[in-house]
Chain A
Amino acid sequence: MPALRDWGMPALVTLPMSRTIIPFGPQHPVLPEPVHLDLVVEDEKVIEARPSIGFVHRGLEKLVEKKDYVEFVYIAERICGICSFIPGPTYCQAIEALMNIPVPPRAHYLRTVWGELSRIHSHLLWLGLMADAVGFESLFMHSWRVREKVLNIIEATTGGRVIFGSCKIGGVRRDIGADAIRQMLADLKKIEQDTRDITRVFLDDSSVKDRLCGVGVLSRQDAYELGCVGPMLRASGVAQDMRQLGYAAFKDLDFEPITRTEGDSYARCAARCQEIFQSIDLIRQALGKIPDGEIAVKVTGNPNGEFMARTEQPRGEVAYCIKANGTKNLQRFRVRTPTFANLPAMLKLLPGCDLADVPVLVLTIDPCISCTER
């Protein structure tokens, strides 16, 4: 029997003979990042799951004491590699709210466009991982083939593929010219067509549906009580999307949160598929309305006060709490990442499922462990 950590619970040595403990992770084919689960299994059914995270804790929150608040944008951007762009503007938004910086409207629109591009690439990445988890290798390759086109747009407009590095306090660092906008719209058309081909397989094909339908049903009530966020919550029927707060340019754009009612893995997959098309639509709206003008304003002074900025990352709501005391170093920078909020729901979903469904269930919350552990 593998050694288990002491959880202050009845000793596991007293397990009945039919029960086994199967360690899942931290290294596992479906896991891109380290999270460990001790699965108590009876026959093929999971009875209990005990998580253990904290393998890659980096202590980025502590770095605010050493870096000044302008430089910290870099570190905020590097909190997550697959939500890539959105942490930067969220941090900037909090500082701008504290210092009352009037961000130019064009910068707001550019942030929105890049944010939605990063949502598309993150969801396509997730679709690929999902196909890999259900054992559909060629679908995985095709999802990432489409993602590559999105990354190319991102590289051409910001200069970086994963870490965009194009956001700063008071605006953005780069502008997108008229030619680049035309090129982007043409590329998006191809991406939309390719994504349609792929999502048709995800949503209609019997072999994928067999693995997803009815697996890990999370009721509307449970999803809300457990503090779920993002597609996880919307797939259970709660229409909550932080973009409704109208940050950046979302106040001028037209969209409705995508909700599903089933609450199972298929619903979560479908919600993410639909969100890709929603994001493409949002980019088209934003590029159609983008105003001319400045892209950044000069920032002077130091922030003072407290603010909690909330935005919608691909994985759900992210909350950045910032406490400043009028010096150039912030007093406290706290990040509540979406995966952190979705982990309790995963632990509630696992008991009762088949062992073979564990990878699917772990992936449906779209775990991003390195951003969870900052």
Chain B
Amino acid sequence: MAYFQMSRLALKWVFAKPVTSRYPFEPRQAIAGSRGRLVFTRDTCVYCTVCAKKCPTGALVVNRAQKRWTIDRLLCITCGYCVEACPKESLELTTDHGSPTVTKDREFC
């Protein structure tokens, strides 16, 4: 049986830089390829409602008559199915995760 197996690891980390970051002051570096926030481009959208039909949680609601695209950020699971379905490439998933939501309102675009 061996004793003090941890001491080697502990000593190494006494002198190494911390792996944690001071989060609110030092934002997390986004990882390329991450599915983050859904971003909508208004100019190219034709309001075909395909994204709303594909949305598994019902977070997207699109009104063709009023030309209104809305999202409930708290329902969105950033699966990316709407991005794959969009014929005009108006939707995009960015790698950052956005700021926290303070209200439960739907977001109008």
A and B touch in the complex (CB under 8 A): yes
A residues adjacent to B (C-beta < 8 A): 67, 71, 74, 136, 138-139, 142, 145, 148, 152, 155-160, 163, 165, 173, 180, 197-198, 200-201, 204-206, 209
Provided the pairs A139-B6, A201-B9 are in contact, do residues A157 and B33 lie with their beta carbons within 8 angstroms? yes
**Contact yes or no, A152 B31, CB < 8 A:** yes
Nearest-Cβ distance from residue B51 to partner chain A, whole angstroms: 15
Interface residues on B, range: 20 to 34
- Nearest chain B CB to A124 CB, angstrom units: 14
Q: How far is the CA of A91 from the CA of B63 in the complex (A)?
A: 34
Evaluate contact between A204 and B5: CB separation under 8 angstroms.
yes
Could you tell me the distance between the alpha carbons of A158 and B78 in the complex, rounded to whole angstroms?
12
For the complex, what is the distance from the CA of A201 to the CA of B3, rounded to whole Å?
A: 9
Seen from chain B, the residues whose Cβ lies within 8 Å of a Cβ on chain A are 1-6, 8-10, 13, 19, 31-35, 56, 77-80, 84, 93
Question: Do the beta carbons of A204 and B2 come within 8 Å of each other?
Answer: yes
CA distance in complex: A359, B6 (Å): 22
Docked-complex contact B5 and A201, CB < 8 angstroms: yes
- Give A209 to B80 CA distance when docked, in angstroms: 46
CA distance A165 to B80 in the complex (A): 9
In Å, the complex CA distance between A206 and B32 comes to 42
Majority-rule SS of B interface residues: loop
Contact between A138 and B33, CB atoms less than 8 A apart: no
Closest 6 CB pairs of A and B: A159-B35, A205-B5, A204-B2, A201-B5, A206-B1, A156-B33
Closest beta carbon of chain A to B5's beta carbon, Å: 4
By a CB distance below 8 angstroms, the chain A residues around B32 are 156
Q: Is the CB of A156 within 8 A of B34?
A: yes
CA distance A158 to B80 in the complex (A): 11
Complex Cα distance A45/B106, Å? 56
Check if A138 sits within 8 Å of B35, measured CB to CB.
no
Give chain A nearest CB distance to B21 CB in angstroms: 11
- Chain B's nearest CB lies how many Å from the CB of A203? 9
Closest partner residue, chain B, to A210 (CB atom): B1
